[in-house]
Chains A and B, each alone.
Chain A
Amino acid sequence: MKLLTLNFLTCAIKTCKTNPASFPLHPRDAELEIVEADMNLPFLRNILPRLMWEELRGICGELGLPELPATPPTPADLVEASNAVHGSAEADEEEPSQTAKDLHRILLETCIQEGKLVCGACEHEYAVKEGVANFLLPGHLV
């Protein structure tokens, strides 16, 4: 499962939803794998306002990945300066910057293959097996 997915998930237990500690879920004993994906610069630029940056930084820290900057990059940080000068370059001609490549790697190429996702509120552990997270609770299955 991609780290970007964690931006949209919380603990599945109803009473946890209103507890801020239920987001993000914390990876534990995670085996990571890099699965290459296409670079999508317009996507990266537009997703920035939807990313919960602090939480994402926290997850990277917990996984021992290179530290993300304290504040989210700006759209201009995602393209090579040399191209940005020409201003009118179309999105598909733009050259992604190192910042864009790093962000792409973290959000879309770094996958949790095995491990657990732990709720910070209730401590429930959700298993990840072969890249698929299991959010089924015993309470769902009655």
Chain B
Amino acid sequence: MLPTPSTSHVCYDRVYEPAEDSYLLLDTLSAASETAFLQDRFNNASSTPPLVLEVGVGSGVVLAFVAANAGTIFGRHDVLTLGTDINSFACRAAAQTVRDAIQEREDGRSVFTDVVNGDLATAMRPHSVDVFIFNPPYVPAELPDLSCHDKYNKVPEGKKATSFEQDSYLLELSYAGGEDGMVVTNRMLEHIPGILSADRGVAYVLLCAQNKPEVVKQRIREWGAGWMAESVGASGKKAGWEKLVIVRIWRNAI
């Protein structure tokens, strides 16, 4: 078991607290079968450093884990990490989580760039991402009203702290996924082919049972020749159904 990065500095009143879904991502990315897949893809020492992008970093626990354990996961230390979140408080918190986790390593530190405040991966250069990670807001619940986002995304002018409605809004953003819990995830899936690097890009997206993972995977396979989607991690088995699954999305050479 690799250590879980410390997030003790993060205020969970307005940033998503690491939970079963976060830990499922850590376990899946560090499982022997997944590190074998990733090393096969990335450990050629003379290839360029892979860029890992996590969208919706929250506390930063997942990105920090990947950054701190790049050697074990990818078989190389020169891995680049970048994060985004729509919640500016999460961006700051996560940047610190990643920096601290890398700093703790005595040997072979990877390279963290930044966490940017943005919508999904809209600011990424096309085909620049080698490893994409997303633990989306996946709960079937009404999306919060984004028209207040600008106002709620910072400490109110003249105030020292955020308000209660503001915190509730920010937390809603972290779990509410609209119809079938898929509204945000669908928007992201649509962009995945455009941001992944053409030759070695791979994406990990978490889904819950209500998201209908089998239907989602089938739809991805219909993106075109070579597109693959497989469940590579699961947790919370109940009456034959997995509560949460991690879907790996990639493209085989055709």
Residues 104-119 of chain B, each 1 if its beta carbon lies under 8 Å from chain A, else 0: 0000010101111111
B123 contacts across to A, CB distance below 8 A: 9-12, 133, 135
Contact of A46 among B47, B92, B125 (CB under 8 A): B47
Tell me, rounded to whole Å, the shortest Cβ–Cβ distance linking A123 to chain B: 16
B77 contacts across to A, CB distance below 8 A: 40, 42-43
Check A70 for interface membership: any CB of B closer than 8 A: no
B113 contacts across to A, CB distance below 8 A: 1-2, 4-5, 8
CA distance A137 to B86 in the complex (A): 11
Check B64 for interface membership: any CB of A closer than 8 A: no
A132-B119 in contact (CB<8A): no
B49-A133 in contact (CB<8A): no
B78-A42 in contact (CB<8A): yes
Q: Contacts A42-B77, A141-B146; is A133 near B116 (CB within 8 Å)?
A: yes
Tell me, rounded to whole Å, the shortest Cβ–Cβ distance linking B198 to chain A: 14
Residues 95-139 of chain B, each 1 if its beta carbon lies under 8 Å from chain A, else 0: 100000000000001010111111100111110100000000000
A1-B109 in contact (CB<8A): no
Q: Give the most central of B51, B95, B117: most A CB within 10 Å.
A: B117
Check A136 for interface membership: any CB of B closer than 8 A: yes
User: Quick one: closest A residue to B79, CB to CB?
Assistant: A43
B contact patch SS:
mixed
Residues 1-31 of chain A, each 1 if its beta carbon lies under 8 Å from chain B, else 0: 1101101111110100100000100000000
Contact of A9 among B46, B47, B92, B124 (CB under 8 A): B124
A2 contacts across to B, CB distance below 8 A: 113-114
Contact of B109 among A8, A11, A12, A38 (CB under 8 A): A38
A5-B122 in contact (CB<8A): no
B95 contacts across to A, CB distance below 8 A: 131-132
B51 contacts across to A, CB distance below 8 A: 8
Residues 85-112 of chain A, each 1 if its beta carbon lies under 8 Å from chain B, else 0: 0000000000000000000000010000
A/B interface sample: 6 pairs, CB < 8 A: A5-B113, A8-B128, A11-B123, A43-B49, A135-B122, A136-B150
Q: Which residues of B contact A (CB under 8 A)?
A: 46-49, 51, 77-78, 80, 82, 84, 86, 88, 91-92, 95, 109, 111, 113-119, 122-126, 128, 146-147, 149-150, 153
What 6 additional pairs, Cβ within 8 angstroms, besides A132-B114, A141-B149?
A1-B116, A47-B78, A132-B115, A134-B118, A136-B86, A140-B122
